[in-house]
Chains A and B, each alone.
Chain A
C-alpha cells in the first residue's frame, strides 16, 4: 500500500472526478458534457495505470537515477519544426515543405545523440 501511494493518489483523484460526474448525471446535462468529462476520467484512469506500472517495476524511493541528456540538441529544431507545422494552418500548407526538413534534422540530431556541452 505504502509503495503504491502515488498510484492511490492519482487513481483516487480520478475516482473523485467520477463521483462528481455521477452527481452531475443526477442533475442532468447535455450528452456532450458526459463525453467530455467521461473522456477526462478515462484519461486519468490511464495515467493511474501508467503510475501503477511504474510503481510495480521499481522502488518507491530512489538511490540511483538516470539523468538522460543524449540528443538534447534535437529539441530546438524539433520545436521550430512544430512551430512551422502550426503556422502552416495559418499561412498555407506550403510551410510543411520547410517544417519537414527541420523535423528530419531534429530526428538526425536525436539519433546521433548531439548534446551541447554543459561543463
Chain B
C-alpha cells in the first residue's frame, strides 16, 4: 500500500485503529506494535533478571552462606549478565528506536516492517531458548556472559544448557541485528518533507550511531558463538591458543560496542527529557551529534581493554583509544549541563530520572577512565571494582535513562498518564538503592574480592561492605516492584476507563511524536493531526515560539 502522510493541507488520511485481537498484535507490521512488543518483552525479562540478582545479593550478604549451591550460583550470574545485556538493555534500546524513530521523523511506518517483526520474534524466541536451559538436567549455562573457551567447551561445561545458551543468544542477536538494520534505514531514508539530517531529533541521531555499531560489530558475536559451537562439537580446537585468544577478540569486538549500544539511546532519551523539562532547546546540538558519531567510531577500537591482563593484546593502543573517549563524553556532558544550567526546570518523574543520570553515569564514566588505564586495570579487572563500574554505567546510568524514557513516553504510547506519586517514590528508592548497592563494590574489588564467587570466607573482611550492598539491593527491589505496580495499575485503570487521559502533548515536547494523538493512529499522522512544518530539530518548540510572537503582535499594546 502507498500512503501520503497528511500535511496541514492534505486530505488523504490514515485509518484509526481500534484495539484488535492477539493475532493482530503478533503479526502486526505497525512499528508501534512491534516496538511495544520488544520493549514489553524486555521489561518482563528485566524483572526476571532482577530476581536472579536478588538471589545472589541475598547469598553474598554474609560470608559463608549457602542459600543456593555453587553450581546454581554460577547459573544465576551467567543468566543475569547474559539476560540483562543480550535480552533486556540492548533490545529495549532498539525497541525504543523501532517505536519512536518513524514518529520523530514524520514517517507513517518503519522501513521493512515485516523484517522488523521477524527481528522481534527471533529476539523473543532466543530469550526463551536461553532461559529454557534452567529446565535441563544440568541446569542453565554457567560460565559467565562472555563464556571464554576452553571453560565453555563441552568437556568443562557439559550439558544442554550451554548449547541452549549459544542457540538462544545467536537467535536473539540475529533479531537485534535485523531490527538495527531497519531502524537505520528508516532514519536515513524515510524522513518526511523538511526533515533534513541536521533537523533530526537527538534520539534519532543516537539511533544512527547505535545501529551503525549494531551492523558493524554484532556479527562478530555470531562468529564467536559459531566458534564456540564448533568447539563444543570438537573441543580439541581449543588446544590451539590462537582460538582461545581469538574467541576473546571476536567476543569483545562485539562486547565493547554493545556497551555503547546500551548507552547512546538512553543518553539521548535523557537529553530529550532534559531539554523538554528545561523548557528550552537542547544546548549544543551539533557538537553532541558529532560527538556521538566520534564516540561510536572510537568505541569500535577499544575492545582490547577487556584483555589487558591476557598478556596478548596491544595494551598501549587500547588504552589510547579508551582514554580518548573522554573527549566526546566531555562534549555530551557540556551539552547536558548547558541545557539545565540555562533552563527553567520542572521536576516531573521523567526529569528526576534524567537528572540523576548525570552524576551517576559520571561515576561510571570516571571509573571507566581508570579501568581503561592498564596499570590500574591489572589490579581491578575481574574484581568487584569492575562489577561496580559496569553497574554504575548500565544501572545507575542506562537503567535510569530507561525509566526516564518510560515515564516520558508512556502517555504517548498508552494514552494515559503514569502515576506521578508512585513515580517519585520509585525514583527515590532507586537512587538510594543504586548507590548503596554499587558504591561498596568499588571498595570490595580494591580490597581483593574477585567477581563470580558464590561466597567468601569470613576472615577476608568483606562482610559489612557486602551487607551494605545487599541492603541496597532490597531498596532496588522495592523500587522496581513499585514501578511494576504503577504500570500495571495504570493499565488496569485504562481498561476500566478511569485513568487520567493523556493529552497529545502532556509535557510541552519538542519533537514530532508529540504532534500526533496519544496513542498515535496506525499511520502516525492524520488530517486532524498533520505533520507540522519541520523547521529545526525541535519543530514543536519553534511552532510554540512563533505562536507566542504572533500573539504578542496581535495583542493591543
Contacts and interface: CB of A to CB of B under 8 A. Distances in A.
B107 interface: yes
Q: Is the interface of B mostly helix, strand, loop or mixed?
A: helix
Q: For chain A, what secondary structure do more than half of its interface residues adopt (helix, strand, loop), or is it mixed?
A: helix
A17 B407 CA distance: 36
A11 to B, nearest CB: 11
A65 B190 CA distance: 8
Nearest to B233: A89
Given A75-B121, A76-B27, A79-B118, A16 B188 contact: no
B324 to A, nearest CB: 10
Interface size class of A (residues with CB under 8 A): 35 or more
Contacts of B188: 6, 9-10, 51, 54
Given A65-B109, A75-B27, A119-B20, A90 B167 contact: yes
Interface in A50-96: 51, 54-55, 58, 60-69, 71-76, 78-80, 82-83, 86-87, 89-91
Given A5-B197, A6-B188, A86-B129, A29 B317 contact: yes
B489 to A, nearest CB: 28
Contacts of A20: 297-298, 300-301, 321
B1 A66 contact: yes
B28 A116 contact: yes
A33 B249 contact: yes
A67 B114 CA distance: 10
A44 interface: yes
A87 B129 contact: yes
Nearest to A59: B193
A24 B216 contact: no
A60 B191 contact: yes
B304 to A, nearest CB: 8
A60 B304 CA distance: 38
Interface string A16-57: 110011011001111011001100100110010001001100
Nearest to B316: A27
Given A29-B314, A62-B191, A75-B117, A117 B160 contact: no
B109 A67 contact: yes
Contact of A24 (B7, B117, B317): B317
Contacts of B297: 13, 16-17, 20
Nearest to B116: A75
Given A62-B193, A69-B29, A37 B117 contact: no
B122 A68 contact: no
B26 interface: yes
A90 B189 contact: no
A3 to B, nearest CB: 10
A61 B192 contact: yes
B129 A17 contact: no
Nearest to B10: A63
B549 interface: no
Interface of A: 2, 5-6, 9-10, 12-14, 16-17, 20-21, 23-24, 27-30, 32-33, 36-37, 40, 43-44, 47, 51, 54-55, 58, 60-69, 71-76, 78-80, 82-83, 86-87, 89-91, 115-119
Interface of B: 1-5, 7, 15, 17-18, 20, 23-24, 26-30, 107-109, 113-114, 117-118, 121-122, 125, 129, 160, 163-164, 166-168, 170-171, 188-198, 208, 212, 215-217, 219-220, 229, 242, 245-246, 249-250, 253, 293-294, 296-298, 300-301, 304, 312-314, 316-317, 320-321, 522-523
8 tightest Cβ-Cβ pairs between the two chains A and B? A79-B121, A27-B317, A16-B297, A6-B188, A69-B29, A90-B163, A20-B301, A86-B167
